[in-house]
Amino acid sequence: MKRVAVIGGGLGGMTAAGELARLGHAVTLFERGHSLGGKAQLLGEGAVPVDVGPTLLTLPHVVREGFRRLDAEDLLPRLIELEHQSHTRFHDGKTFDVWRDLERTVASAEALQAGEGEAVRRFYAEAAEVHRAAGEPYLDAPFEGAFEYLTRVARRGLGLLWKGSRLGTLQAFAEACFKSPHLQKFAGRFATYAGASPYEASAAFALVPHIERAFGVHHVEGGMGALSAALAKALARLGVQTRLGVEASWQPWRTGFAVGPTSDQTHYDAVVVNADPLASLGREHERLALSGYVLLLDAPDVKLPHHAVSFAADYAAEFQALFEGRVADDVTFYVCHAAATDPSMRVAERSGLLVMVNVHPLVYGADFATLGPKLRARCLAHVRELGVRDARVIGERTPVDFANAGAPKGSIYGFLPHGRFGPFRRPRIRSRTRGLFYSGGGTHPGGGVPLVMLSGHFAAQLAAESLGAGA
């Protein structure tokens, strides 16, 4: 048995702590907040439940496998697959709907613009090839370097290696697939899943729509907060010692590390840090991914879809403004209405709404004390346009709140994967310090609930190997 410290109780840190405890190590999990789960929280104020952080789940098998490794399958909340994956509205009143049934998606594209139904088929076929060429090898194992990664790609065929090397931007990919500028926006938005711009991010992000098409879009019954609570129960059952409200730091000490609050540090053999690693790596001056303004509402029960996007008229201008440190006059809105799928997210004929717009991180010196109320007014005006009346504000989050929670300069996603080789510059899980590993959305393989849990699995795997216990 070895002593392992995990600093940070997000989903990645929780996964790493549980797996290391399952292998027989003595694990202490430090979390400076007063609850586990990181961004995956359910708003605790008011009677209507609403998720504060991530709102959809893909790759459900990754989550199920994560709970299986913790011997906690009985604790996993029900994962509900959405038949209607998303509703998109454009500035000219046209709409596009994505369904689990590809034929319904094709019909929606054809209704939007003649000939684009077949383009949707080609888009998903091409996205599947991108996933085979770049995505599967990227998710198979911890990223330890280009040679090792390219070797995994080559095992799938030299044709895929050639295809992957020729990927341009996601916007170029979208334009090659669709004539409709509306559907080009739809395809480009998947770059924002990593806080990036489709005009600068790699076409490798086309793997995201393939994943949603192939594995489905899911909702966790009871919200993402229920997933965090289930993981917390699994850790308690495995004997992980959890210390809430403790801000811990680490430093090399003898043959291991001194970890804990500054005044009370003890010895551990290995450390997993579930926090954005850019500052620790001396890379805090890099350009950062986008942040967000999030408004949380308690609204009368309304007939809104689970996931809805309303695009700005000029998408390129919106991103230009964002990466210049401004918010454009015309912005894209995302609205999540979880009660459309999950009755448990509805109370007394009222349900929660999450409204989000992309904003820049704090590196540009924006005053969100002034900008926040303006964004709140715009979000409220948008939901009124959707037919929502008598909505009450029950919470909001700005980059200032994300920064206070540990996000670098308030950037939700931290590392910015712009450029053809952007994803390969993402901080690695294994640090240069022996026995120190990272997990979370700021490291490989990136953000999103399943990928964050996968980072925790990889961190536990590498830590166990370093301790001589195998994986």
Report all structural domains of the chain as residue ranges with CATH numbers, in order of start.
Answer: 3-45+59-79+221-285+421-466 (3.50.50.60), 83-216 (no CATH), 287-410 (no CATH)
The residue that leads in pLDDT, 5 or 281, is 5
The residue that leads in pLDDT, 163 or 86, is 86
Q: Which among 449, 442, 465, 345 is positioned nearest to 67, based on CA atoms?
A: 449
User: Can you give the length of the chain in residues?
Assistant: 471
Share of the chain above pLDDT 70, in %: 97
Check residue 332 and give its pLDDT: 98
The residue that leads in pLDDT, 471 or 203, is 203
Assess whether pLDDT exceeds 50 at residue 239.
Answer: yes
Determine the average pLDDT of the residues in 164-188: 91
- In degrees rounded to 5, what are phi and psi of residue 386? -80, 0
> What pLDDT band is residue 165 in, cutting at 50, 70 and 90?
low
Determine the average pLDDT of the residues in 50-73: 96
Check residue 215 and give its pLDDT: 97
Determine the average pLDDT of the residues in 358-362: 95
Contact predicate 28/268, CB 8 Å: yes
Assess whether pLDDT exceeds 50 at residue 470.
Answer: no
Check residue 226 and give its pLDDT: 96
21-35, 38-52, 162-176: least confidently modelled range: 162-176
Determine the average pLDDT of the residues in 22-51: 91
87-96, 212-221, 360-369, 379-388: least confidently modelled range: 360-369
Query: CA–CA separation, 75 vs 68, rounded Å?
Result: 10
pLDDT tens for 444-466 read: 999 999 999 999 999 999 999 99
Assess whether pLDDT exceeds 80 at residue 268.
Answer: yes
Mean pLDDT, all residues of the chain: 93
Assess whether pLDDT exceeds 50 at residue 471.
Answer: no
> What pLDDT band is residue 262 in, cutting at 50, 70 and 90?
confident
Check residue 158 and give its pLDDT: 57
- pTM across the whole model: 0.95
Assess whether pLDDT exceeds 90 at residue 35.
Answer: yes
- Contacts of residue 149, defined as CB under 8 A and 6 or more positions apart, other chains included, come to 137, 138, 143, 424
Determine the average pLDDT of the residues in 156-172: 71
> What pLDDT band is residue 254 in, cutting at 50, 70 and 90?
confident
Share of the chain above pLDDT 90, in %: 83
Assess whether pLDDT exceeds 80 at residue 469.
Answer: no
Check residue 284 and give its pLDDT: 82
Check residue 214 and give its pLDDT: 97
Q: Which of 4-18, 250-264, 277-291 has the highest mean pLDDT?
A: 4-18
Check residue 439 and give its pLDDT: 97
Determine the average pLDDT of the residues in 326-340: 96
> What pLDDT band is residue 134 in, cutting at 50, 70 and 90?
confident
Check residue 164 and give its pLDDT: 57
Check residue 167 and give its pLDDT: 77
Check residue 430 and give its pLDDT: 95
279-283, 432-436, 454-458: least confidently modelled range: 279-283
